[in-house]
Amino acid sequence: MYKALSLTVANWLSTLGSVGHFLSDVARSLRDVRIWTGLTVEQMRRIGVDSVPIALFISAFTGIVLSMQASYTLTGAVPLYFVGTAVGKGLLLELGPVLTGLVLAGRVGANIAAELGTMKVTEQVDALETLAYDPHSYLVVPRVIAASVMFPIVVAMASALGIVTGWLTAVNMLELSTFEFFKGIKMFYQDKDIWYGLVKSISFGFVIALVGCGMGLSVRGGAEGVGRATTKAVVYGSAMILVLDAVWAVTVL
């Protein structure tokens, strides 16, 4: 029992150690600007542009649901134009970034972990090193930067579409006029609504890519290892988004 406990603690410490090691390697490889700049553009396309359809799909439906639910919750209690407030704030502050983040933790995080994991088990990562490339600057940095840059853009598009579908729902189903809907949106609007959501998205992109890369590069033992790393990337990536979200809420809101 005691032995098992100390083993667990030792495992935790060694995991913590390798995470720290990984982070410092990544930070150090930022120096190789010439290597990662070109690759980052390609990753921005793969991580960002290719994620747009799924993000829009999700937010379109979120906008509809938010609108209906707000009207249901608010009926009788407060003026109906608060539906606009609920849709706007709900999407910008929370649902836009978090739902997009969770979906992309699946899509982008899994993709990165599987790709780097496969490269690892087929010795392509070793090959990179022997060709005098640091895998951190060649593989990790471009993905992390691309995700950090593209996530807020994808989230902004998603939130915007969600507001549009929320508005269309309000106008067509709730007997709310366009004027009233946007009055509701504007009424409690602060600039913080925008930048809070975007900063949050940057942090989500950063974490998802970093976790995906870390899991991919630490794969051992063939296809099975790649599968395990992919699952872990999704699970840990999603968990970290929820934790980060709470941290942002407590510290900034």
Asked if residues 158 and 212 have their Cβ atoms less than 8 Å apart, the reply is no
- Residue of the chain from 6, 15, 75, 122 that contacts another protein (CB under 8 A): 122
| Backbone torsions φ then ψ of 240, nearest 5 degrees | -70, -30
Asked if residues 54 and 103 have their Cβ atoms less than 8 Å apart, the reply is yes
Nearer to another protein among residue 29 and residue 62 (C-beta): 29
Interaction of residue 224 with another protein, rule CB under 8 A: no
Stretch that binds another protein, among 56-64, 70-78, 129-137, 207-215 (CB under 8 A): 129-137
- Residue of the chain from 123, 179, 243, 247 that contacts another protein (CB under 8 A): 123
Interaction of residue 187 with another protein, rule CB under 8 A: no
Size of site (CB under 8 A) for another protein: 13
User: Shortest distance, CB of residue 116 to another protein, whole angstroms?
Assistant: 12
One-letter amino acid at 34 equals R
Interaction of residue 129 with another protein, rule CB under 8 A: yes
In 3-state terms, what secondary structure has residue 189? Answer: coil
| CA neighbor of 71 nearest in space, from 174, 186, 183, 159 | 174
DSSP conformation letters of 133-191: --HIIIIIHHHHHHHHHHHHHHHHHHHHHHHHHHHHHHHHHS---HHHHHHHHHHT--H
Q: Where are the beta strands (DSSP E) in the chain?
A: none
User: Shortest distance, CB of residue 229 to another protein, whole angstroms?
Assistant: 18
Interaction of residue 130 with another protein, rule CB under 8 A: yes
In the shown chain, the binding pattern of residues 80 to 119 toward another protein, with x for contact by CB under 8 A and - for none, equals ---------------------------------------x
Which value, in Å, is the radius of gyration of the alpha carbons in the chain? 21
- What count of Cα atoms within 13 Å lies in the side-chain half-sphere of residue 216? 29
Asked if residues 96 and 158 have their Cβ atoms less than 8 Å apart, the reply is yes
Interaction of residue 126 with another protein, rule CB under 8 A: yes
Nearer to another protein among residue 126 and residue 175 (C-beta): 126
Interaction of residue 132 with another protein, rule CB under 8 A: yes
Nearer to another protein among residue 203 and residue 230 (C-beta): 230
Q: Which residues contact another protein by CB under 8 A? A: 119, 122-124, 126-134
